[in-house]
Amino acid sequence: MLQTVELETGASPQWSIIWLHGLGADGHDFAPIVPELVRPGWPALRFVFPHAPVRPITINNGVPMRGWYDIVGMDFRSRADMDGVRASVVELDALIDREIERGVPAEHIFLAGFSQGGAVILTAALQRTAPLAGLIALSTYLPEAETARRADNAVQVPIFMAHGTQDPVIPLQIAEHSAAAVRAMGLELQWQSYAMAHQVCAEELTALGDWLQARLQAA
C-alpha cells in the first residue's frame, strides 16, 4: 500500500477524494488546496494524497524522482511507459478498496490527478467496472489516446477536465485531443480551459467546487 497524506474535513467521512500528484512532487503537494476548495455545508470528506514511488525518469537523464510511471520520450503518442501506468492503476485500486473497507461507498469516491497523476486516473476510468463518484483530471492527458479502448463492461464516470492555454509541459492541443477521445468512448466530460501554464488557478478551483457540489448534493 502506498504511503499517504490524509486530511479529513469532519468526523466519520462518507466521501473520499484520492488525489494523485504530478511528476517529482509528493502527497503534500495538493494538501494546501483543501481549505480553498471545500465549501460550508459539504458533507465530511477524506482527502487521500498518496506518494508515488521513486523511480528513474528517462527524459530527466534517469534521475530518480517520485513518478507514477517513466516518461521515455517527448512524443505524447508513446511517451508513457504503459507498464508503469498500469502498475499505478493497480496501486490506485488498492487505495479505493481501502476507502471502501473504511466504510465509504464506491459511488462516494472521487479520483483526482494532476499531470502524471491525471494520466493514471484517466487510464483507470476506461477499465473501471465498479461505480465511482467522478474523476478530476487537471493539466493532464490520456496516454496513447489513439489506441486506448474502454472496457466493454466499464461503468459511466463523470469527469471534470481542466487545462492551461499556455501549458508548456502538456500542450493544450494534446489535452483537447485526449478530452475528445474520452468523450468518443462515451464518458461524460466537462471541459474547462484557463489562461495559465502548468498549474492550478483560483478560477479553476471555483469551477471544480461547483462541479463537486452538484455531485455531493445529488447523492
Catalytic residues, by residue number, are 115, 167, 198
DSSP E strands in 31-73: the ranges are: 45-50, 54-57, 63-66
- Whole-number Å distance between alpha carbons of 141 and 99: 26
**Burial (CB count within 10 angstroms: exposed 0-12, middle 13-18, buried 19+), residue 75:** exposed
Find the angle CA(174)-CA(149)-CA(97) to the nearest 5 degrees: 100
Q: Is 5 exposed, middle or buried (0-12, 13-18, 19+ CB in 10 A)?
A: middle
Per the listing, cell 479553476 goes with 204
Residue 217's identity, in one-letter code, is: Q
Instruction: State the DSSP string of 148-165.
Output: ----TTPPP--EEEEEET
Residue 199 CA to its chain's centroid (Å): 14
